[in-house]
Amino acid sequence: MKHKQECALYLSHLQLQAMVLFTNTGHPSIFVNYFTDSCVQSRRHDYCIYTDGSRFEFKTGTNKVGCAFVVLDNAIEISHSLFKLAPECSVFQAELLAIREAVKWCISCDKSAQIFSDSQSALSAINDKYNLNSLAYEIRTLIANCTRHICMEWLKGHSGISGNERADQLAKMAAESDLQISYNLCPISYIKNLTHQHALQEWNRQWLKTSKGNLTKTLFFPTVYDRGKCQNVIPNFILTQFLSGHGKFGEYLTRFKIINNPECICKEQSQTVSHLLFHCPIFWQERYKLLYNINYSNIEYTSPLTTLLLQPQQFKYFLNFLNSIYVRLK
């Protein structure tokens, strides 16, 4: 009751000539079982319209987006329309575009209708007066100036309702078709993602080009993208020294004349990060324990160690190995 009162106040404040009703005040799924094509159409509405949007994503980056609506009169299809969107558009935009075109169709025919959509996000955007999405705002404006009653309701997608299934089929056909693009305004999320990808590409280009960080590139992260994959790798005091080679390692300390001899405590060769991780006989037991644990997961212990760092549990084994080395270094 409170929800209906708030809607009534909002609509009267805007002096709408037509109402946008969202009858599902609880979770919409509890109403779905009562929806059939024979009883969905209200007596006070001329038609029943189903809308849907579709988006196909491909690894090549060439996406396909489309939407459609289908008009039913007593469960009989009398009209439908297909629309193609630019590949950068989102399925959210496709859902809104389908609803907008359905509203326009009602206005052009001067008919009342129930418009059904399986997109709760699209309907919520339309119902929210503070939502500044251009399509949602346009839909609210169209309905405000409409002289016929338009009711919008949510229904569960792929629930066996033939009108919704038909709209879904048409939306997919629109996405795959060669229709002229009807909408090409890309969402902000696409701009953010594009900017992020360009930044990563430039960062990676400079990372590969620079002569610095060779140890990090050779042993751990050959590319910036490899580091991005290892979300569980959170640097700490000891890990940072091994990742960078800047720590109490013989070779590093000798370079800055802190000690005179870079020789490892095993007396076999210079004490480098690579030597400590893969070859130093002093730490053969710790290394054997690490190899036993990671081989159980079929992970090879070889550079670069990106695959090892990707696995949270195996990464913990590796951290324990680093700690056991560090505490024994002079």
Pairing of strands 64-73, 76-85: antiparallel
Give the whole-angstrom CA distance, residue 45 versus residue 102. 14
CB atoms within 10 A of CB 135: 22
- Residue owning tokens 């710790």: 286
Check whether 41 has a pLDDT greater than 70: no
183 and 228 share one domain: no
Q: What is the domain extent for residue 94?
A: 2-187
- pTM score, two decimals? 0.66
What total of structural domains would you count in the chain?
2
65 three-class SS:
strand
Give the whole-angstrom CA distance, residue 292 versus residue 59. 37
Sheet order of strands, 113-117 included: 150-154, 113-117, 47-56, 64-73, 76-85, 181-183
286 and 219 share one domain: yes
- Report the pLDDT value the prediction gives residue 299, as an integer from 0 to 100: 75
180 and 47 share one domain: yes
Mean pLDDT of the chain: 86
Residue 193, in any domain of the structure: no
144 and 268 share one domain: no
182 and 283 share one domain: no
Give the whole-angstrom CA distance, residue 206 versus residue 199. 11
- Report the pLDDT value the prediction gives residue 44, as an integer from 0 to 100: 72
110 and 9 share one domain: yes
- Report the pLDDT value the prediction gives residue 159, as an integer from 0 to 100: 87
- Report the pLDDT value the prediction gives residue 297, as an integer from 0 to 100: 65
148 three-class SS:
coil
Per-residue pLDDT of 92-133, as tens digits, reads 999 999 999 999 999 999 999 999 999 999 999 999 999 999
Residue 183, in any domain of the structure: yes
- Report the pLDDT value the prediction gives residue 302, as an integer from 0 to 100: 86
Angle among Cα 80, 83, 89 to the nearest 5 degrees reads 145
**What are the residue ranges of helices labelled H in the chain?**
2-14, 29-32, 91-109, 120-127, 134-144, 162-176, 188-209, 214-219, 224-229, 237-244, 250-255, 273-278, 284-295, 306-310, 312-326
14 and 90 share one domain: yes
CB 187 within 8 A of CB 89: yes
Give the whole-angstrom CA distance, residue 48 versus residue 31. 17
27 and 140 share one domain: yes
180 and 235 share one domain: no
15 and 142 share one domain: yes
Residue 200, in any domain of the structure: no
User: Which one of 172, 187, 202 terminates a domain?
Assistant: 187
Residue 13, in any domain of the structure: yes
Per-residue pLDDT of 9-30, as tens digits, reads 344 433 333 333 333 333 333 2
Per-residue pLDDT of 216-256, as tens digits, reads 999 999 999 999 999 999 999 999 999 999 999 999 999 99
Residue 115, in any domain of the structure: yes
Residue 201, in any domain of the structure: no
25 and 127 share one domain: yes
Residue 196, in any domain of the structure: no
CB 295 within 8 A of CB 211: no
The enclosing domain of 156 has a CATH number of 3.30.420.10
61 and 181 share one domain: yes
Give the whole-angstrom CA distance, residue 323 versus residue 93. 51
Give the whole-angstrom CA distance, residue 101 versus residue 104. 5
Per-residue pLDDT of 152-200, as tens digits, reads 999 998 888 999 999 999 999 999 999 999 999 988 888 998 999 999 9
Q: Cis link prior to 304 (omega < 30° from 0)?
A: yes
Residue 205, in any domain of the structure: no
CB 74 within 8 A of CB 41: yes
